[in-house]
Amino acid sequence: MVAALLVATASFVRGLSGTFAGASDPNTALLLSKVAERDVVRSTAAAGLASLVKASVPGVELASDEIHMGTSMVVPGYDGERAGFVRGVTPSAYELHGALTLVEGTLPGPGEVAIGRLVARQLDVPESALAIGNSLTLEGSEHRISGRFVAPGTTLEAEVWTPLVPLRGLTQRDDSSVVFVRLADEKARKRLRLFCDRRLDLELDMVMSADYYGELVAYFGPIQRMAWMLAALIAVAALLGGANAAAASVQDRIQELAALRAIGFSTGALALSLCVEALVVAAFGAVLGLFLARLLLTGGAVRLAMSAFELRIDPQAVLIGFLGALILALAAVAPAALRLARLPIAAALSED
């Protein structure tokens, strides 16, 4: 159980941080409005800024105007509105966000959307409800689902993508939220910064993608720490329970163990045998726990605000779970082994 819990915690933490870190690209910068304080949803950037940047800054390979917004969606056949994340894009976005791969259907045209692999779980509806050809209502307008995409290890998978210009019409805004810019090299990055300093009227804040997503990971740091603290509390409870069970087990066999010491077995050898015994039992339990975790967590996704991320049961998470169980077992048996070592043989033999 402890192993399963440790694996669950590790996969949650690694999934959360990995998803945001996975969306970052060292050669990509974001242009946000200064007043948005690096909140991409609150940010507004002038329409056509991507074209202006591409034309003005040498070394810009791609620039993508995008609207990022959280909105209510309605899935036909399912009651109520559901909170989801929509990204309005131009064709440049598909080229710039290299992690994205269309796996089914076509790219969306006007009145259409493409949905990420985790959108159904984000909206809490079955996958079949968002099949190609079905519809999805956003901003009061029905959209046909034209394609499905994957973008492993990124936040994109919980998003709904639709063409930028029709979305502007629907939301009655004539701007974008952000411009993603792919830069050829370090010199291009400096020139983009120069562009922002020269075009003060645009009130742009330039942030590298790695920094932006790094700040998001840091923002969710308290949640990650809380998850680890919860796991630690349960591990302590398991440790105390295990120590109690080990003490009872040794007490039950105290005379036999004392007899072994009387005929020449060293205290170290007996302590070692207790440790091996505890390790074997813990390893067996840990393997069962790992199977349980695999069964329950594989493919699982966690909804977080308007996004979602997949639990990541990778070798590191399994190792944390398995080693954690073994270490707890050793720690639990230590007090019993210590008591056995300190108790005089005569006293041990006479114990009831």
- Judged by CB under 8 A, the stretch of 95-103, 155-163, 189-197, 269-277 that binds other proteins is 189-197
Query: What x-and-dash track marks residues 134-173 binding other proteins by CB under 8 A?
Result: ----------------------------------------
Give the residue ranges of DSSP H helices in 2-102.
2-22, 49-56, 91-96
Distances (CA, A) of 145 to 84, 105, 118, 150, 178: 15, 9, 14, 15, 24
Of 14-53, binders to other proteins (CB under 8 A) are 34-35
Q: How far is the CB of 191 from other proteins (least distance, A)?
A: 8
- Judged by CB under 8 A, the stretch of 145-153, 184-192, 252-260, 304-312 that binds other proteins is 184-192
Which residue lies nearer to other proteins by CB, 60 or 332? Answer: 60
Give the separation between CA 116 and CA 118, rounded to whole angstroms: 6
- Judged by CB under 8 A, the stretch of 134-142, 198-206, 275-283, 335-343 that binds other proteins is 198-206
Asked whether the beta carbons of 191 and 57 are under 8 A apart, the reply is yes
* Number of residues this chain uses to bind other proteins (CB under 8 A): 14
At 88, list the tokens. Answer: 């309005």
Give the separation between CA 150 and CA 65, rounded to whole angstroms: 21
Query: What x-and-dash track marks residues 202-231 binding other proteins by CB under 8 A?
Result: -x----------------------------
User: Given candidates 26, 128, 133, 200, which one binds other proteins under the rule CB under 8 A?
Assistant: 200
Query: For residue 175, what are the β-bridge partners?
Result: 46
- For position 197 contacting other proteins by CB under 8 A, the verdict is yes
- Judged by CB under 8 A, the stretch of 192-200, 223-231, 276-284, 334-342 that binds other proteins is 192-200
Give the separation between CA 215 and CA 297, rounded to whole angstroms: 27
- For position 294 contacting other proteins by CB under 8 A, the verdict is no
Strand runs (DSSP E) across the chain, as ranges?
Answer: 28-33, 45-46, 60-74, 82-89, 101-105, 112-116, 135-138, 141-150, 159-163, 175-176, 178-183, 204-208, 301-304, 307-310
Check the CA dihedral 277-280-284-290 and report its sign. positive
- For position 198 contacting other proteins by CB under 8 A, the verdict is yes
Q: How far is the CB of 201 from other proteins (least distance, A)?
A: 4
At 91, list the tokens. Answer: 């064709």
Which residue lies nearer to other proteins by CB, 175 or 314? Answer: 175
User: Given candidates 77, 110, 127, 190, which one binds other proteins under the rule CB under 8 A?
Assistant: 190
Distances (CA, A) of 122 to 98, 113, 281, 332: 22, 16, 39, 41
Q: How far is the CB of 212 from other proteins (least distance, A)?
A: 17
Distances (CA, A) of 22 to 63, 151, 160, 274, 310: 20, 9, 18, 45, 12
Phi, psi of 148 (to 5 degrees): -125, 140
Q: How far is the CB of 197 from other proteins (least distance, A)?
A: 5
User: Given candidates 77, 91, 95, 194, which one binds other proteins under the rule CB under 8 A?
Assistant: 194
Which residue lies nearer to other proteins by CB, 199 or 339? Answer: 199
Which residue lies nearer to other proteins by CB, 33 or 177? Answer: 33
Q: How far is the CB of 34 from other proteins (least distance, A)?
A: 7
Q: What does the binding site for other proteins look like in residue numbers (CB under 8 A)?
A: 34-35, 187, 189-191, 193-194, 197-201, 203
